[in-house]
Amino acid sequence: MSKTWVVTLCVTIILVIATWFLYAYHAPEDNAEPVLSNPMLQPVSDPMNVTDVPYRDVTLFVSDAASGALVRTIREIDTHDDVLQDIAQTVELLAHPDADSRNDAIPEGTELISVFVTTTGIVYLNFSRQIQDRHIGGLSAELATVASVVNTLLLNFQEASYVQILVEGAEIETLAGHVDCRKPFSKLLLIDS
């Protein structure tokens, strides 16, 4: 056998195993019926993050303008009796971490339409169409967008075990053709340096 054939066979086997691993993993089935068509934030049955503190720090994963890598930045949010309001405020802050700046990982004009948390910890984030339509494309940019959202939610909210990205109430295959968004994300995707 030639070395080229052996290398090709090894790469094919690795790709098959990686694909099997990605598709063999399934988030737990959830029988709760999310109400996503209403643009209002959806309440959960019992508030999960009730605190007496009127504010708290959250860690945001934002794109560094110079390097394009995700970096952590800490901001303050008002706390509410309803975790959905805290999540919504965090995601809105993620898009605009400062009054005069925007997170380049989140396409301009993207709005959070609604949030729903299931009893098994799947956080559904329903975004406006701009998250896809205005996305610059490319694998690294798409990974940065997904990782920015997923890492921020999983790191800051113990109620979030999974994050599912929706666009105008519908599941999507990808944001820009590269990252599979059909299943909820359950792990931090990119760790900043």
pTM of the predicted model as reported, rounded to 2 decimal places: 0.70
For residue range 19-51, list pLDDT tens digits in order. 555 555 545 555 444 434 334 444 444 445 554
Residue 177 lies in a domain: no
Q: Tally the domains of the chain.
A: 1
Q: Which domain holds residue 85?
A: 30-171
Residue 132 lies in a domain: yes
SS3 16: helix
Residues 6+ apart with CB under 8 A from 29: none
Residue 37 lies in a domain: yes
CB 165 within 8 A of CB 127: yes
Residue 81 lies in a domain: yes
Residue 183 lies in a domain: no
Residue 11 lies in a domain: no
